[in-house]
Amino acid sequence: MVELKTDSSIDAMHAAGQFVARALTAVREAAGVGVSLLELDEVAREVLREAGATSPFLGYRPSFAPTPFPAVICASVNDAIVHGIPTAYRLRDGDLLSVDCGAELDGWAGDSALTFTVGTPRPADLRLIETAERALAAGIDAAVVGNRIGDIAYAIGSVCRAAGYGIPDGFGGHGIGRRMHEDPGVPNEGRPGRGMKLRHGMALAIEPMLVASGRDDYHAAADGWTLKTNDGSRAAHAEHTVAITDSGPRILTAR
CA distances from 215 to 7, 74, 167, 201, 230 (A): 41, 22, 7, 35, 9
Give CA angle at 198 (55, 190), nearest 5°. 85
pLDDT confidence of residue 126: 98
pLDDT digits (tens, 9 = 90+) for 134-170: 999 999 999 999 999 999 999 999 999 999 999 999 9
**Closest-CA residue to 10 (of 238, 244, 240):** 244
Q: How far apart are CA 70 and CA 237, in angstroms?
A: 20
Average pLDDT across the chain, whole number:
98
Give mean pLDDT, residues 205-229.
Answer: 98
pLDDT confidence of residue 242: 98
Fill in the DSSP letter of residue 150: H
What's the pTM? 0.97
pLDDT of 112 higher than 90: yes
Q: Are 91 and 33 in contact (CB under 8 A)?
A: yes
* pLDDT-derived band at 64, boundaries 50, 70, 90: confident
**Closest-CA residue to 245 (of 207, 198, 206):** 198
